[in-house]
């Protein structure tokens, strides 16, 4: 059955991302839409009732939000948490939607939303198209109206069987050979020789860039995908935003910062979503976690040789990321490659490839039809620590992650 966690890729960046502690002392894989693991059977009747009330209120909010997003006028239904084997169902006679308790407890809220959209499509057929049709042409029309993902348009009982994991998607990726070559180069980047490591990373960067430059003129079908990174926190830190800036400028993805409800804690957490071709999303996902692990490792090393407190940590981290970004900005294009010109001194020329990708923009708009931009105030930094971080950032070299087969306890190479 679908676990709603798009796990890391098989051998290619075998992400097995570094685990990070949260305040409660538990560990979470920083992978897509993972949710808190709770033993619901051990909850008291009062706690169960409290949870279900919160879920019902959130379902009402999601229904209202989806109607607003896609400009659809539907009557507010009554919601019920069911113990049925069906993930969800629409009942036109009572104008009610039932959502399975099992669905909520086993899957992330992102999956719950898509099941809700499936049932809302039935509601559209019933209320707007005045039909009792189940899964016919009118239902398909309603699914397009609400942008229900294809894998969620079948009967609810089919849901666990038809949603592929990220491993399965990677195995079916059209550019598996390109990914394998990048993996090999990143393995070489583990070399003890800094010159060889730099050269290997440079070649990997050129290979990724060439793939995207050739993709611009290709008529082949493009496979777009997204990954949700959820740290289970209520804010996105400045250093995380800086990593996202690096990814959007140099790794051919677009970033959407959103939020996702967590059924276990009954609150919403901020999320980072990576959008792009399947290959680019996998690579960007790897880079995100690689940089996170390096920030923590380099800060611990810096503390050993400098008298500093945790207050300066963010300044040091921002310096590392700015240094690494400057290093990436200096990369050159090998002979024969098409060069994209830009007048910006801060944005990579390759970022224009993503900006001009109309298919990717449409793919994002189907998931988020009403996106908006927000300006974030720049962070104040401690100059000494920031400059020290920049020096280290310019020395950073991407390399291949390693993985422990059982469990996802692998850590990135330091």
Q: What is the pLDDT of residues 11-62, one digit of tens each?
A: 333 333 332 322 332 222 233 444 455 566 677 788 888 899 999 999 999 9
CA–CA dist 215, 233 (Å, integer): 36
Domain ranges in the chain are 40-165, 173-393
Q: Please, what sign has the CA dihedral across residues 70, 73, 76, 79?
A: negative
Place of tokens 């990724």: 208
406 pLDDT exceeds 90? no
For residue 263, how far is the Cα from the chain centroid?
19
2 pLDDT exceeds 60? no
Mean pLDDT, residues 349-371: 79
CA–CA dist 29, 409 (Å, integer): 8
CA–CA dist 298, 389 (Å, integer): 9
For residue 161, what are the β-bridge partners?
none
Q: What is the mean pLDDT of the chain?
A: 75
Residue 169's pLDDT is 56
Residue 287's pLDDT is 85
Q: Which of 90-99, 157-166, 276-285 ranks highest by mean pLDDT?
A: 90-99
Residue 153's pLDDT is 87
Place of tokens 């009062």: 46
Q: What is the pLDDT of residues 226-271, one digit of tens each?
A: 899 999 999 999 999 999 999 998 888 999 999 999 998 899 999 9
Residue 86's pLDDT is 85
pLDDT band per the 50, 70, 90 thresholds, residue 343: very low
317 pLDDT exceeds 80? yes
414 pLDDT exceeds 50? no
CA–CA dist 299, 291 (Å, integer): 12
CATH of the structural domain 40-165, one choice from 2.40.50.140, 3.30.460.10, 3.30.2010.10, 3.10.110.10: 3.30.2010.10
Residue 12's pLDDT is 30
Residue 340's pLDDT is 42
**pLDDT top residue among 28 and 198:** 198
Please answer whether residues 349 and 332 qualify as being in contact, where contact means their C-beta atoms are separated by less than 8 angstroms. no
318 pLDDT exceeds 70? yes
Residue 337's pLDDT is 45
Q: What is the pLDDT of residues 273-295, one digit of tens each?
A: 999 888 888 888 888 988 888 89
399 pLDDT exceeds 70? no
């Amino acid at each position: 059955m679908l676990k709603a966690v798009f796990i890391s890729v098989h051998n290619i960046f075998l992400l097995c991302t570094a685990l990070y502690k949260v305040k409660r002392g538990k560990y979470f894989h920083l992978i897509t839409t993972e949710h808190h693991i709770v033993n619901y059977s051990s909850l008291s009747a009062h706690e169960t009732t409290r949870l279900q009330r919160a879920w019902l209120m959130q379902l009402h909010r999601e229904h209202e939000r989806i109607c607003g997003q896609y400009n659809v006028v539907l009557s507010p239904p009554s919601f019920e948490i069911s113990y049925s084997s069906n993930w969800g169902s629409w009942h036109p006679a009572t104008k009610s939607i039932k959502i399975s308790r099992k669905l909520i407890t086993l899957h992330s809220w992102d999956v719950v939303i898509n099941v809700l959209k499936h049932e809302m499509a039935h509601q559209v057929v019933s209320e707007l198209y005045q039909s009792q049709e189940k899964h016919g042409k009118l239902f398909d029309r309603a699914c397009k109206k609400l942008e229900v993902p294809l894998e969620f348009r079948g009967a609810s009982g089919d849901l666990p069987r038809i949603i592929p994991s990220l491993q399965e998607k990677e195995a079916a990726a059209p550019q598996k050979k390109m990914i394998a070559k990048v993996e090999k180069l990143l393995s070489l980047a583990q070399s003890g020789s800094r010159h060889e490591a730099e050269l290997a990373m440079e070649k990997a960067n050129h290979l990724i860039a060439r793939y995207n430059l050739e993709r611009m003129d290709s008529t082949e079908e493009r496979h777009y995908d997204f990954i949700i990174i959820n740290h289970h926190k209520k804010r996105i830190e400045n250093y995380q935003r800086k990593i996202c800036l690096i990814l959007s400028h140099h790794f051919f993805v677009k970033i959407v910062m959103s939020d996702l409800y967590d059924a276990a804690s009954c609150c919403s957490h901020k999320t980072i979503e990576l959008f792009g071709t399947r290959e680019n999303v996998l690579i960007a996902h790897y880079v995100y976690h690689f940089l996170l692990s390096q920030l923590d490792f380099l800060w611990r090393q810096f503390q050993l040789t400098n008298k500093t407190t945790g207050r300066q940590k963010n300044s040091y981290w921002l310096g590392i990321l700015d240094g690494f970004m400057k290093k990436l900005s200096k990369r050159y294009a090998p002979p024969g490659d098409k060069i994209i010109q830009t007048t910006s001194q801060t944005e990579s020329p390759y970022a224009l490839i993503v900006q001009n990708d109309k298919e990717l923009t449409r793919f994002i708009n189907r998931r988020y039809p009403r996106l908006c931009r927000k300006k974030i105030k720049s962070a104040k930094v401690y100059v000494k620590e920031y400059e020290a971080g920049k020096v280290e950032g310019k020395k950073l070299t991407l390399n291949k992650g390693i993985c422990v087969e059982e469990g996802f306890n692998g850590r990135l190479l330091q």
